A and B are shown apart, each in its own frame.
Chain A
Amino acid sequence: MNRQRSTFLITILCFGYAFLYIPIVMVVIYSFNDSRIVSVWGGFSFRWYLQLLENRQIIEAALLSLRIAFVSATVATALGTLAGLALARMGRFRGRILFTGMIAAPLVMPEVITGLSLLLLFVSLQDLVGWPGGRGAATITIGHITFSMAYVAVIVQSRLMSLDESLQEAAMDLGGRPFRVTLDITLPIIAPALLSGWLLAFTLSLDDLVIASFVSGPGASTLPMWIFSKIRLGVTPDINALATVIITIVSLGVVIAGWLMFRQEKQRQRDVQ
């Protein structure tokens, strides 16, 4: 009985994972395909990777994406940390749940709506104050900051919730002023949470197509935007190679973030003892 159920479970599990990963594995495999026709296997080769390196458009789009991701993740981490600290610090006040909920709302907001509202904001700002002069890298960065900041704030706040408040009180008791205590005690202890927040913001930004498409201007194409425009003309094998590179980078990010969170959880359990 028990054994039967376990084979049944394993079968389901295999189906689930196959469903998730076979498309990705296909992309990776076909990126090494020597044939020009995507769906026909023509032997193993690195030629699409080499071709990637020669394609200036791809390189430029990739660099732009990385730059935007780096800047937006950094700013979002700073702002999100401040928001998380403020929410956790203010203690129990009326409407706290509302504020906590409001900071998490962008997480569930459809991207189309976020993109559209940001576009409207930029357009009307331009009419009112003449800034931003045109849409491009700067507006994409701002767009990415707004939604990834929410992720960072949620991560930081939940870490702070589980932080023993008496640590900060003890530091104050020993003569640390509240601001110094945040620098000396709070931030170092929650540093792993900040780093995983940063990595999450970074991958979210690399990933984003919808918001970037809304708020970008003619000059600036991020990597996902470039790929999307290319796909419309048909899939070429070099896109498989590009996708494989992106998959590698993103999974590295996710693995590092996960490892950090795991280590932090273990540390927390040790602190509790």
Chain B
Amino acid sequence: MKHRGLFLLQLGFTLVVCAFLIVPVILSIMAGLTVNYFVGIESGLTLRWVIEVWNGYRDTIFLSIGLSLACLVVTLILGVPAAYVLAKRQTALTRAMEELLVMPVAVPGLATALALIVTYGSLSGFRTSWGFILVGHVLFTLPFMVRSVLAVLSAIDLKTLEEGAASLGAGFWPRFRDIVLPNCRSGILAGSLMVVTLSMGEFNMTWLLHTPFTKTLPVGLADAYASLRLEVGSAYTLVFFLMIMPLLLALQAFAKPRPAKFVAEETE
């Protein structure tokens, strides 16, 4: 009886927290679907705002998707080997590198963006391309990739596993492909999930880095809120959700850890 009471209490608390998080989202989405937000839901439901957003901001959506995928590719190529090296070589240098990697996360995005503009702003071709924003996003998201892969690599006895593979004749590349990568799969997937989500939603830095031709989804969202009707802004939020939810769900499904079964000692 006592346990049941505790369970109900926990359930209630969880539901309250969920409601706290989800209700604003639902309200915002509803606002994007009502004819007139100030009149309320009685004014009727419409897709007009969504269509308006699609027509006006389609490009920001495609840019954001492209940007986050490019960001993912770059962080994978840079981050996974970096995590591997950090996991393998525990020296003062690698530990210092590990600490340095959190810098872009700790420093406000605006500051990083400013530094990028000061450094590369004069390269006009680069300044106006989406590559400029990509650099910012990579700086910001790389630590998340490295950390999440490193966490998995540190939890397994990588050195001995590699020695085992080497004793069976596997050189460096086969080892990396067959042993290292598969065993940090969950870290790579978790890192990818973070990188794509963070890149999609990044606003601080992107707001400073963008040009009228390189507007990302969150920047467009700010635009819409600032200059258009609240319904359009809300419809934009809805579109943003529709974009990012399937992605999140897909990555989440991949990242699911395999269940580990315990097997008692069998004497033969």
Q: Do A and B come from one complex?
A: no
Residues of B within 8 A of A (CB): none
Q: Interface residues, chain A, CB within 8 Å of chain B?
A: none
